[in-house]
A = this chain, B = another copy of it.
């Protein structure tokens, strides 16, 4: 931990979190008043408020209007958290393409209950304003934009993206933004900018299977890092791994990791950045779920804490507004030239009109209202899904507690074979993601991921419950 670089409010938040953890503050108890803490610690009221809101975002405190902050109650009958992962401490070559292709094929089958693919339902996304911006751009400016655009992308869109980054306390220059074909191309460009075939890349464990597939196709190896289901990557464990393995880059989630939903604390993020800086290992961060936070504050990505010196930030609008538009971006200062060179050599530039439409849509200011609606929807969906899981899955099932995004990670009591459940579920018209595709070494066969990206409905409810019954039947056999 680099306490000297942590903000005062973070130290305060950590202190209160520890008091809750060691029982000094019991579940349901009122937290010390903001004014009292302010006086005791000689800090401003706003610093205490910031600390409490951080704790609210972490699910440790709950704010009650006109009453103050209380220690959160554990939800009644809640399932336990999945275990922190302990993957093997060696890099693995990846061979997952076939499994991923098969999963994506089933996940796009609209006759199945859609628990498989981590994509929001098109009807939920209400992309009409964006679509109309595209229609307008095509009608009014089709000829003007029927040219090869700049490799780094439309200047207007890069400006809008830089403007939004200010809210994260990050002074991003439009010149440091490169527009990509979704976050997938962003990650690919980032990886090829800092690593080569045969290199080892450190990743969360479990991690997004698409990342593993990209590593496989680039001939890179994956080193899985122990990861906690809510706190994210174990920095001390990563430090030990870096002692024994040559790592060319880390690819980590900024927050609400897929599939765990974990988010590192700012203190841990700073410690991780300091570690990587010492070892001169570049960090690639994937912030594709960042806008879908259920707490008040959007967790700050690594680049906002680090300033972009050796961090390559990757994101897209695919999880929050428009998976069909394939608009993502990279933000990086040091590596921008390498990234742009690769963008130019690998696909020249992206299509112009969708970028122009996005710039127009973002400038209109309607994105924030849209995001507020999406957050409420997904928070609600996850709560309903959690209850359906509790009511139907085998006793001893553990489940993640994402504070953002829209996926749940389930760990079933061993022995359990989520591959066998997958085949059976398909026959019952249900798709989900079996656990082994989230690991290069094909761990997590007793785990699975459920997506709550579709509007909650009787079909979704019944799908989860039936899946739970099928899992129970397998457990009882």
> B residues within 8 A CB of A185?
346-348
> B residues within 8 A CB of A217?
192, 341-342, 345-346
Contact A182 B347 (CB under 8 A): yes
| Cα–Cα, bound, A135→B353 (Å) | 10
Listed residue (A125, A139, A346, A352) with the most chain B CB atoms within 10 angstroms of its CB: A346
Contact B101 A344 (CB under 8 A): yes
For chain A, the count of residues having a C-beta within 8 Å of the partner chain is 69
Contact A210 B142 (CB under 8 A): no
A207: Cβ under 8 A from any B Cβ = no
Of all chain B residues, the one with the shortest Cβ separation from A341 is: B97
| Cα–Cα, bound, A323→B351 (Å) | 8
Identical copies in the complex: 2
| Given A181-B181, A346-B184, CB of A122 within 8 Å of CB of B135 | no
Listed residue (A136, A147, A150) with the most chain B CB atoms within 10 angstroms of its CB: A147
| Cα–Cα, bound, A124→B436 (Å) | 53
* CB-CB contacts below 8 Å: A40-54 with B: none
Could you mark each residue 108-147 of chain A with 1 if its beta carbon is under 8 Å from any beta carbon of chain B, else 0?
A: 1000000001010011011110111011101100111111
Contact B135 A147 (CB under 8 A): no
> B residues within 8 A CB of A188?
345-347
| Cα–Cα, bound, A197→B219 (Å) | 10
| Cα–Cα, bound, A295→B325 (Å) | 39
> B residues within 8 A CB of A130?
142
Contact B324 A145 (CB under 8 A): yes
Contact A127 B146 (CB under 8 A): yes
| Cα–Cα, bound, A126→B346 (Å) | 27
Of all chain B residues, the one with the shortest Cβ separation from A345 is: B217
| Given A150-B108, A181-B181, A184-B347, CB of A143 within 8 Å of CB of B119 | no
> B residues within 8 A CB of A128?
142-143
| Given A344-B101, A344-B213, A345-B213, CB of A138 within 8 Å of CB of B132 | yes
Report which A residues bind B (CB closer than 8 A).
97, 100-101, 104, 108, 117, 119, 122-123, 125-128, 130-132, 134-136, 138-139, 142-151, 180-182, 184-185, 188, 192, 196-197, 210, 213-214, 216-219, 318, 322-327, 340-342, 344-354, 357
21 A-B pairs with C-beta separation under 8 A: A100-B344, A101-B340, A101-B344, A108-B150, A123-B143, A127-B146, A131-B353, A132-B138, A132-B139, A134-B138, A135-B135, A135-B138, A147-B323, A147-B324, A181-B348, A182-B348, A210-B348, A216-B345, A326-B347, A326-B351, A346-B346
Given A117-B148, A126-B143, A324-B353, 12 new contacts (CB under 8 A):
A97-B341, A101-B344, A104-B344, A125-B143, A128-B143, A181-B348, A192-B217, A210-B348, A213-B345, A218-B345, A326-B351, A354-B354
